[in-house]
Amino acid sequence: MLLLMIHVYLSASMEPVIHRILEAVTRRKTTLENVNWWNSAAMYPFIFLGIHHLESPTSTSRLVLEVLMLLVFVLSYAFMIRLINDRFDIDSDAIGGKRNLYNTTSSAWLDFLIVFFALLVVFIWTPLSKNPYLTIIIASFAPIAGLLYSHRLIRLKERGFWAALTDSAYVFVLPSAVLISIGSKAEFVLFWACVFLWIYGLPNMLYHHLADFDHDERSNTHTFGRSHPELSKKLIKGFSLIVILAILPALGYATIEFLARPYVFCIVFGLLIWTEVSRNTRSSHSYLLWIHTKWFLARQVLLAFFLCYTWQEEAYVLFATGIVLFGQLFWWRLVSLFTNVLTRTLHLGRKLYFVVRKGSSLGVNYAIYWLFRLFGVDLKTLNTSAMGYFKSRLKK
């Protein structure tokens, strides 16, 4: 709880921190209107960095250095992709009324930042990697994917389903693949992790395209979501189902195999499910948003398992880092859980109060009745109360 409070104290999420950094490097305020990608994708590179540390334990100072490098890597990655996207969306953003950094900041300066962030992304992990060439090759695909997605000559953003595939690749797959590649068993883990994250990212990307429907229509941008909205909704549901069917058995096996006290994670998992179901978001939002929030729950469950495992392995620095950086994923759920428990407790207490009050009243009345019967007075026959009886006697 203390660590969660520290997280909230630092920021309700990482958004204020990210905003300040972007304001500094781009010389412009409000450079990102929405940086929910922090909770969408940044968690997975952190988990793979944690797995690398658990597999090959290092000193605390080395781990702190790696966490700082991870922050630089993830932020540089996000800034690079955002700037590349803005670089080639100047006209469409102007037509659609969307903010674009290139409309208010020096183009030369932003182009320099793209190159600078790209170099950081490609080379920052090379000194620590056990497979430096593999790490460089994978990291190099990040700026390439950004260019393929946005550049007007290719522009996969308007090439049907290729847009969602590319989007998911450079947002979810590549950052984690870079972190996987620095470990000693990278080749074994890399393929299956990339396949899972690719599928995992598709619902989010398709939902993002649907959320931008009005902007894309104004700017005449032909995304897959705009061209095939109903199919996109079906794909979101389908890929979300695949993710759930993949996660549940994997978590079941991992819980039994790796956790010494599996019941702890089972309790956490049950509470996460209960808070999600009890919120009843389906009645207050669209069905598609409801599906999307259920997909969002998957990352919270995975992070909860990872945190349980790090605590078991006494990797307290990793545990604390996970809470501080991504505690927002659980904070509102704890609040929701507390609110639900408090509301139900108060409701139960109120009902119990009236039951006890009614029972006590009946008990007192019966006791008084039989007490009077001992003295030969039947209050029922007289059709009066004890006070009424005394008043009538006093009048005589």
What does the block give as tokens for 308? 């349980």
Mean residue pLDDT of the chain comes to 75
pLDDT score recorded for residue 223: 73
- Domain 12-250+315-326 sits in CATH 1.10.600: yes
Residue given tokens 């008043």 in the structure block: 391
Residue given tokens 């702890």 in the structure block: 264
CA distance 26 to 5: 31
pLDDT score recorded for residue 315: 87
Of 289, 276, 292, give the one whose Cα is nearest residue 243.
292
Whole-prediction pTM value? 0.72
pLDDT score recorded for residue 333: 65
Where, residue-wise, is CATH 1.10.600 in the chain?
Answer: 12-250+315-326
Contact 166, 145 (CB under 8 A): yes
pLDDT of residue 154 exceeding 50, the answer is: yes
Q: What type of residue is 78?
A: A
Contact 148, 110 (CB under 8 A): no
Average pLDDT over residues 228-246: 80
Contact 88, 216 (CB under 8 A): no
| Least confident range of 11-25, 70-84, 216-230 | 11-25
What does the block give as tokens for 221? 């941008």
Of 81, 80, 86, 85, give the one whose Cα is nearest residue 101.
86
pLDDT of residue 254 exceeding 60, the answer is: yes
CA distance 59 to 54: 11
pLDDT score recorded for residue 120: 92
pLDDT of residue 369 exceeding 50, the answer is: yes
Rounded CA Rg of the chain: 30
Percent of the chain with pLDDT over 70: 72
Q: What type of residue is 310?
A: T
DSSP 252-295: HHHHHHH-SSHHHHHHHHHHHHHHHHHT-HHHHS-HHHHHHHHH
283 C-beta neighbours (distance < 10 Å), count: 7
Residue given tokens 């060439």 in the structure block: 133
Contact 230, 212 (CB under 8 A): no
258 C-beta neighbours (distance < 10 Å), count: 14
Residue given tokens 């208010």 in the structure block: 104
Contact 297, 38 (CB under 8 A): no
Residue 11: half-sphere exposure toward Cβ, Cα within 13 Å? 12
pLDDT score recorded for residue 329: 73
Contact 14, 38 (CB under 8 A): yes
217 C-beta neighbours (distance < 10 Å), count: 13
| Least confident range of 308-312, 330-334, 357-361 | 330-334
Q: Which helix (H) or strand (E) element contains residue 366?
A: helix 328-374
CA distance 25 to 17: 13
Average pLDDT over residues 266-281: 71
Average pLDDT over residues 357-367: 76
18-47 residue pLDDT tens: 555 555 554 444 333 344 566 677 888 888
What does the block give as tokens for 217? 């229509």
CA distance 233 to 244: 17
| Least confident range of 87-96, 153-162, 232-241, 264-273 | 87-96
Residue 99: which region, alpha, beta or left (left: phi > 0; alpha: psi -120 to 50)?
A: beta
| Least confident range of 201-205, 226-230, 335-339 | 335-339
pLDDT score recorded for residue 10: 44
Residue given tokens 């952190």 in the structure block: 46
101-142 residue pLDDT tens: 777 777 788 888 889 999 999 999 999 888 889 899 999 999
**Is the pLDDT higher at 372 or at 37?**
372
